[in-house]
Chain A
Amino acid sequence: MTITHILFLVLSVVAVLSAAIVVLNSNPVRNVLLLIVCFFSIAGHYVLLNAQFLAAVHVIVYAGAIMVLFLFVIMLLNLNKESEPHKPAWEKIIAVIAGGIFFVTLVGALKGTDVIVRNASGTSLGDSGIPSPEIGLVESLGKVLFSDFLVPFELSSILFLGAMVGAVMLGKKNIK
């Protein structure tokens, strides 16, 4: 067992546990803090997978910006345990069944993945089966974005412009 394996196991256990507590716990502030823990452990996974830039962006955007937004909303809405709406039992049962089926589907999907792992060595990963260490750096990402993924990159600017226009339109007052 190498150090990578140990790190992977620790990060996975932390990520799954914290995510489970977020769903099961009903204290909003604690949930948000645990969600941050979950995001950090996923960022750790990114680093293990050689995606350093993605890990940094993940921490900045999710654990930083979005979680602060969550905390603000919780603070402004003054959510607490009593004000949480109560869901009827049949809704909970259906949710459990649907979630269970989804879980089974995902576990079942792992069947046959050993073929991918076997095929992986010697193709995109190089002869040794170890990915190139530069693959997750900003430089290589930028090169891909401005060559192979140029069209989606440019079109996403239209998407963001549309989202911004929409936000401004909904936010501004109607001038009579």
Chain B
Amino acid sequence: MKAILVLSGLGIIALLAELFRFRRVLFPLVLLGLLGAVAAALSYFWFDEGKEWNDTYVKGMLVFDTFSILSSSVIIITGLLWLMMSQSYFKEESSKTDHYALFLFSMAGAVTLTCYNNMTMLFLGIEMLSIPLYVMAGSKKDSLASNEAALKYFLLGAFSTGFLLFGITLIYGATKSFDLPTISTYVTDHAGEIPGLFHAGIVMLLVGLLFKISAAPFHFWAPDVYQGSPTSVTAFMSTVVKTAAVAGFARLFAYPGFMADAAFWGPILAVCVVLTIMVGNVFAAVQNNVKRLLAYSSISHAGFLLLAILSNAPGSVIYYTAAYSLASLAAFAVLGIIMQHSGDDAMERFNGLGKRSPLLAFTLTLALLSMAGIPPTAGFFGKYYVFMQAFASGHAWLVLAGIIGSLIGVYYYFRIIIAMYFKDVPAGAEGSPAANDLQQLVLFITSLGILVLGIMPDLLLNLFK
């Protein structure tokens, strides 16, 4: 709650900056505010607002357990790093404050998705996350691809929200409540006589949520939208937005009432896991455009996350999203720098980067190794824990699919690494792209994070016991 208040308040302050002419100090202000939001999110480990406050105002709409505290912290820290690396996105003077406000409102929605305890909050969180994002995707107004991305994302997103709402309605029809604990107890109490409405509602909810995390077969929007949007916004989508949507998904299906119904939705989700991992990896392997490649790789990572949700392993979900967000931030930061330097994002632009800018090439290598799941990076343990939990809950076949998918992943991640280190610098592409100070800091922090989480995974996982 505190973090949501801080983020929404910051968004309103960002809008006021236009009026009261403090646009120049907006960046440090928002940075400080985000640090405050991290502190506010983490403070729930020690104290919350108290029972009286919750009974009077919150009325069980939001709940703060280990899962929500940790995932909202991951989201806000990712957002903070994203803000630092995407200064070029906020450069345009005429709509600078709008960009800040949209980013912050979207963050508030993302945090809502980690701690909702009521169907209305789930819906509001998803909308608050998505609506600013539709606009951000189309913020490069003179680019046709950006406009197309925004329109596509908006239309399909609105359609999927329709499914989500329909699902919520049907579940309300079956259980007479929006309150998730109430629904949960109703389902466990009335086991065996739950009407079909509830199952139909779950299917609709699944459609809406699978769309948001870009899992197959609802992934068709993702490559086009990721490619068409400005690179910074793509980075935002594949880190903050993905983490939030996955956290919301995991949260809903971890309620005992929903978990008790796993025999119904488990097989559906299992099919989606296999499809998502395979489609994401196979299509990524044939891309020659690095941004599109990362989009497909983001789809495949959604598959691994779904596997973690299916095995009811909230700890692995958070660990995996943290590892993936760090790697993704680093990869998109380097991609953004290369695109600014050379104008496009073809694989050839990475040729000889190891000689031209060794530092960028090294951080990108580390990020790609983490995404591929090679030790000692965080990505390895992410996949390891997901597979282990999936084995423990009896999904051996899905683990096999995951391993095959990871192997395909190694192939295409190494294509970029090979291009950077073993291919000659093409004629006319000399010059070494360089990161600015803030981007260097972000690359340093993300690389450090990938290594620290990879060497000491217990740092995060122990908080869950």
A residues apposed to B, CB below 8 Å: 105-106, 108-113, 115-116, 123-124, 147-152, 155-156, 158-159, 161-163, 165-170, 172, 174-175
Contacts and interface: CB of A to CB of B under 8 A. Distances in A.
Contacts of A155: 4, 8, 108, 112, 121, 124, 128
B128 A165 contact: no
A161 B194 contact: no
B61 interface: yes
A132 to B, nearest CB: 15
B128 A174 contact: no
Contacts of A169: 95, 98-99, 102, 135, 139
Interface string B266-307: 000000000000000000000000000000000000000000
A112 B190 CA distance: 12
B124 A111 contact: no
A165 B142 CA distance: 19
B196 A152 contact: no
A172 B4 CA distance: 29
Interface of B: 1, 4, 8, 11-12, 15, 57-59, 61-62, 92-95, 98-99, 101-102, 105-106, 108-109, 112, 118, 120-121, 124, 127-128, 131-132, 134-135, 138-139, 141-142, 170, 173-174, 176, 193-197, 199-201, 203
Contacts of B121: 151-152, 155
Contact of A162 (B95, B120, B132, B193): B132
A110 B196 contact: yes
A115 B105 contact: no
Contact of B127 (A147, A151, A159, A165): A159
A149 B98 CA distance: 29
A162 B15 CA distance: 10
Contacts of B98: 165-166, 168-169
Given A124-B176, A162-B128, A115 B108 contact: no
The 8 A-B pairs with the shortest beta carbon distances in the complex, nearest first, are A166-B135, A109-B200, A112-B195, A162-B105, A169-B98, A175-B94, A111-B196, A151-B61
Contacts of B201: 109
Contacts of A158: 8, 11, 105, 108, 128
A112 B193 contact: yes
A113 B92 CA distance: 56
Given A152-B61, A155-B112, A170-B141, A162 B102 contact: yes
B237 to A, nearest CB: 16
B105 A110 contact: no
Contacts of B108: 155, 158
Contacts of B101: 161-162, 165
Given A109-B196, A113-B197, A169-B95, A159 B58 contact: no
B164 to A, nearest CB: 15
A169 B150 CA distance: 13
B158 to A, nearest CB: 12
Contact of B203 (A105, A112, A150, A152): A105
A116 B195 contact: yes
A17 B92 CA distance: 51
Nearest to B119: A152
Contact of A115 (B12, B132, B195): B195
Contacts of A149: 59, 61, 120
Nearest to B57: A150
A110 B12 CA distance: 46
Contact of A147 (B59, B94, B120, B174): B59
A110 B174 CA distance: 10
Contacts of B62: 151
Contact of B193 (A115, A167, A168): A115
Given A105-B203, A163-B131, 4 more contacts: A149-B59, A150-B59, A152-B124, A161-B12
B124 to A, nearest CB: 5
A112 B195 CA distance: 4
B59 A113 contact: no
Contacts of A168: 98
10 contacts: A109-B199, A110-B197, A113-B173, A116-B195, A151-B61, A155-B124, A158-B11, A162-B101, A165-B105, A170-B141
B131 A106 contact: no
A124 B112 CA distance: 29
Nearest to B139: A169
A120 B173 CA distance: 11
A161 to B, nearest CB: 7
A108 B132 CA distance: 37
Nearest to A166: B135
A123 B132 CA distance: 41
A159 B174 CA distance: 28
Given A108-B196, A151-B61, A151-B62, A116 B132 contact: no
B92 A166 contact: no
B3 to A, nearest CB: 13
A49 to B, nearest CB: 13
A38 to B, nearest CB: 16
A144 to B, nearest CB: 10
Nearest to A124: B176
Given A152-B120, A159-B131, A162-B101, A113 B141 contact: no
B176 A151 contact: no
